[in-house]
Amino acid sequence: MPLLIGRLSALPQRMAALRGWRADLTAVLSGVVSALALPPLYGLPALLIGIPVLLCLIQGARGPAVAARRGWWFGFGLYLIGLYWITEAILVEAARFWWLVPFAVPGLAAIMAVFVAVPAAVAWWARPGWRMSLTLAGAWVLADLARQFIATGFPWNPLGSVWEFPGRFGDIMIQPASLVGVHGLTLATIVLASLPVLGWAWRAGGLAVLALWIGFGIVRLDQPMPPGPNLTVLLIQGNVAQGQKWDRALMVSIFRHYLALTRQAVAQADGHPAVVVWPETASPALLQTDGTARQLIAEAAGGNTALVGSVRFDDAGRPRNSLFALGAGGTIEAIYDKWHLVPFGEYQPDWLPLGVQVVPGGGFASGPGPRTLHIPGIPPVGALICYEAIFSDQVIDETDRPDWMVNITNDAWFGNSAGPRQHLAAARMRAVEEGLPLMRAANTGISAGFDAKGHELGRLEMQVADVLPVHLPPPLVLPLYARVGLLLPGGVAVLALITGLLGKLPGRRARDAKF
């Protein structure tokens, strides 16, 4: 046993002593291991291996450029595994895009890895130990904030999402997001994951912080909720395969399928006030101009409001990915246009070289931004279409705060993979951050309802056609994070960065210090 303990205690020094391809291979493998902590696996102990290894490799680097390279390899492994499901979208149209399969996910992972390489290079300047851990955490969060905005942003799989376990334990662990958002959870996660290579005092302090974290979560979660509105949200999951959605020969049958599910849902509401929700682009009919289709939806909804995903065309003839609010008789009460579009999937980025045409016609036009819909008979609602749910602090109109959020999406592109489950985790986190219930209708699943604390009220699993009635919970008093927004985790990250870099040792002697 003493021999085993001695060998384990020597591991950080052995990791720090690695050079060349051995260090790079260790970095990419530790990134792969760390990806096991992401939804839907939630293998949290994997971070207790991955992050300490990364810190050791940074410590052992001969300069910031070498640290950046090792950080890049770590990020490449992390995102290669975390984003593997994007291949599913390519395989939907494999006849046209089969050649992209070997390049798409590795290419995206290579780009995303830059947002780990930069924090690794910054952390190299800090003294090994808790200062390096704080520096890495602060720089990592600032990099995550950057990837929320650069090239329209892709803030998928922040490390703060690793706490979103199903059930009560996950509910408890995500409550601090109401204070600091998912980015604040990311910072705390990196510091806590560093504990195996920190001193015993820091390990004890980390356990104390974790105990306070759990205590806050329990207290907040168990606080009584005020009564909610007398309204049932009827989530419709059509389970239409992506290859069938735009098949003209199937459009009528798909539309009838959604009408039948809507009638089934209204029957389950048993006369209580309700709102019907169809997923993203669920209606094959162009509701903007097709009055007959709108009337049929209104009749199936039994006089209740229907929130329906559909494509529309603006005055310039550009398509928009929209949500239509339909009232009695099929009247259009409001329209919301998606504004956070998916690069290369829904629009052509302006920064591509002239002459390069990836998306025909430039793709969809974007909407003006977050908007609250005021619809007679239902509480004010903030609409999110698909991918918009991954953008922390960018999901509602802060000047016209809604009482609840609705997220319509079509995750059929990603099959029965980790993608839809990671997307669901992002939506759940937005409910906690904003203190608002969130109702999610997904074409092939997972459809679900969450209260304002992120507690799941019901779900429809993947690849089933069914309906989910959820009684709409109330909103909560405005959480701290909803008041301050990204400035809060950004400020904490800057403070961690400055604290970590204070008192650094000059010269190579600092690099040779032990953990």
* CATH number of residue 390's parent domain: 3.60.110.10
Distance, in Å, from the CA atom of 67 to the CA atom of 16, rounded to the nearest integer, reads 11
Same domain, 416 and 321: yes
Distance, in Å, from the CA atom of 350 to the CA atom of 346, rounded to the nearest integer, reads 13
- Can the peptide bond before residue 90 be classed as cis, meaning omega within 30 degrees of 0? no
The average pLDDT across 333-342 equals 93
Over residues 193-221, the pLDDT tens digits come to 999 999 899 999 999 999 999 999 999 99
Over residues 242-301, the pLDDT tens digits come to 878 778 889 999 999 999 999 999 999 988 899 999 999 999 999 999 999 999 999 999
Same domain, 471 and 498: no
3, part of any domain: no
- Residue of 386, 433, 453, 456 marked active site: 386
Same domain, 104 and 248: no
Over residues 450-476, the pLDDT tens digits come to 999 999 999 999 999 999 999 999 999
Same domain, 470 and 491: no
Same domain, 366 and 469: yes
Predicted confidence at residue 352, as pLDDT, reads 54
SS (H, E, C) 456-490: EEEEECCCCCEEEEEECCCCCCCCHHHHHCCHHHH
DSSP letters for 113-160? THHHHHHHHHHTTSPTTHHHHHHHHHHHHHHHHHHTTGGG----S-GG
Q: What 3-state DSSP class applies to 507?
A: coil
Neighbours of 273 (CB within 10 A): 15
DSSP state of 167: S
Closest CA to 416 of 458, 384, 464: 464
512, part of any domain: no
Residue 309's alpha-carbon distances to 49, 202, 430, in angstroms, are 43, 50, 21
Neighbours of 335 (CB within 10 A): 18
- Cα Rg for the chain, rounded, in angstroms? 24
Pairing of strands 274-277, 232-237: parallel
* 30-34, 313-317, 385-389, 459-463: segment of lowest average pLDDT: 313-317
Distance, in Å, from the CA atom of 146 to the CA atom of 168, rounded to the nearest integer, reads 32
The residues pairing with 448 across neighbouring beta strands, listed in sequence order, are 440, 459
510, part of any domain: no
Q: Which residues of 383-399 are buried (b: 16+ CB within 10 A; e: fewer)?
A: bbbbbbbbbbbbbbeee
Distance, in Å, from the CA atom of 230 to the CA atom of 273, rounded to the nearest integer, reads 7
The residues pairing with 253 across neighbouring beta strands, listed in sequence order, are none
- HSE-CB at 437 with a 13 A cutoff on CA atoms is 27
110, part of any domain: yes
> Residue 87: pLDDT above 70?
yes
Same domain, 241 and 303: yes
Neighbours of 272 (CB within 10 A): 13
Distance, in Å, from the CA atom of 217 to the CA atom of 164, rounded to the nearest integer, reads 12
Distance, in Å, from the CA atom of 98 to the CA atom of 105, rounded to the nearest integer, reads 13
Same domain, 212 and 310: no
The average pLDDT across 426-444 equals 98
Over residues 357-386, the pLDDT tens digits come to 445 556 888 999 999 999 999 999 999 999
End-to-end Cα distance, the chain: 22
**Number of compact structural domains in the chain:** 2
pLDDT confidence band for 98 (50 / 70 / 90): low
Q: Is 338 one of the catalytic residues?
A: yes
Distance, in Å, from the CA atom of 364 to the CA atom of 190, rounded to the nearest integer, reads 38
> Residue 6: pLDDT above 50?
no
The residues pairing with 325 across neighbouring beta strands, listed in sequence order, are 307, 334
Q: Is 435 left (phi over 0), alpha (psi -120 to 50) or beta?
A: left
109, part of any domain: yes
The arrangement of strands across the sheet holding 332-337 comes to 332-337, 319-326, 305-313, 274-277, 232-237, 466-471
Is-contact 409 424, C-beta < 8 A?
A: no
> Residue 91: pLDDT above 90?
no
Distance, in Å, from the CA atom of 328 to the CA atom of 57, rounded to the nearest integer, reads 63
pLDDT confidence band for 57 (50 / 70 / 90): very high
480, part of any domain: no
Predicted confidence at residue 362, as pLDDT, reads 64
Q: Is 386 one of the catalytic residues?
A: yes
- Residue of 56, 164, 245, 280 marked active site: 280
Is-contact 324 332, C-beta < 8 A?
A: yes
Question: Is the pTM above the cut of 0.95?
Answer: no
Same domain, 139 and 200: yes
Q: What is the enclosing helix (H) or strand (E) of 407?
A: strand 404-409
Q: Is 56 one of the catalytic residues?
A: no
Same domain, 160 and 271: no
Mean pLDDT estimate for the chain: 91
Same domain, 418 and 441: yes
> Residue 345: pLDDT above 80?
no
- Residue of 56, 164, 245, 338 marked active site: 338
Neighbours of 450 (CB within 10 A): 28
The arrangement of strands across the sheet holding 372-373 comes to 372-373, 381-385, 404-409, 438-442, 447-450, 456-460
1, part of any domain: no
Same domain, 238 and 218: no
Those residues whose C-beta lies under 8 Å from the C-beta of residue 464, and which sit 6 or more positions away, are: 237, 239, 445
Distance, in Å, from the CA atom of 430 to the CA atom of 436, rounded to the nearest integer, reads 8
Q: What is the enclosing helix (H) or strand (E) of 384?
A: strand 381-385
Same domain, 143 and 27: yes
107, part of any domain: yes
Residue 374's alpha-carbon distances to 228, 323, 379, in angstroms, are 18, 13, 7
Neighbours of 292 (CB within 10 A): 9
Domain holding 239, by residue range, is: 232-475
Is-contact 467 274, C-beta < 8 A?
A: no
